[in-house]
Amino acid sequence: MSENKPTIFYVYDALCGWCYGFSPVINAFYEKHKEDYNFRVLSGGMVTGDRIGPISEVASYIKEGHLNVQDRTGIKFGEPFLQKLFNDSSEIFTSVPSAMALALFRTQQPENELAFATRMQNAIYYEGMPPADWNTYGKCASEFGLNAIDFAEKLQNQKLLQLTQQEFEVVSNWGIKGFPTVLLQQDQKAYVVTRGYSSIEEMEEVLDKIQSEIQKS
């Protein structure tokens, strides 16, 4: 990561359906701008504390919400995930393990953190892998050349949990309440590129306006 480049922060949550739908957009945005900006991915902690529970508790919301995401973004939710959703699964929905996985992965391959975040969302929302299972993230990590068993074991660490909770606090202190959110940090100022789902064309238009504003100041 270059200290001379501005930084794009992508604030997401692995269990955020709109972030899943946004993943092709943010990846295309990254490919276009990775030479000009540093990119960081932060986990927002959408499903934590008393929000953690069986998928059945939020099934009615997701059943309607996933259709809205599909219609707007064109992304598909996989049959294995939908089977769990419509069969009243007792599988636990929690953002904490995926956020811990991203925090751990970042220490080993920071240049691939967006790709890893995307892979985790595909694992959950397309392949139907359980978000509360450490092995889900070990499998994802193995596709980046890391040892699956070793990675899953390292996730079960109190210091890593504390680091992850600090990341949630950073996002909260920034005033970010919804996901996805994309921020540009440049010249010690922060600018919102998108708050919620946007197309890449909309993001490019906003980024151009921000850069014009910066050049005038």
| 130 assigned to some structural domain | yes
| 2 assigned to some structural domain | no
Integer Cα distance of 73 and 175 in angstroms:
26
Which neighbouring-strand residues pair with 194? 182
| 19 assigned to some structural domain | yes
Domain count, the chain: 1
| 1 assigned to some structural domain | no
Integer Cα distance of 137 and 4 in angstroms:
33
- For residue 206, the enclosing domain spans 7-216
Q: Could you list the pLDDT tens digit for every one of the 217 residues in the chain? A: 667 899 999 999 999 999 999 999 999 999 999 999 999 999 999 999 999 999 888 888 888 899 999 999 999 999 999 998 888 678 899 999 999 999 999 999 999 999 999 999 999 999 999 999 999 999 999 999 999 999 999 999 999 999 999 999 999 999 999 999 999 999 889 999 999 999 999 999 999 999 999 998 7
Residue whose C-alpha is closest to residue 133's, from 86, 160, 79, 96: 96
- CATH number, domain of 155, equals 3.40.30.10
| 93 assigned to some structural domain | yes
Region of 187 (left: φ > 0; alpha: ψ -120 to 50; beta: rest) is left
The pTM of the full predicted model, rounded to 2 decimals, is 0.95
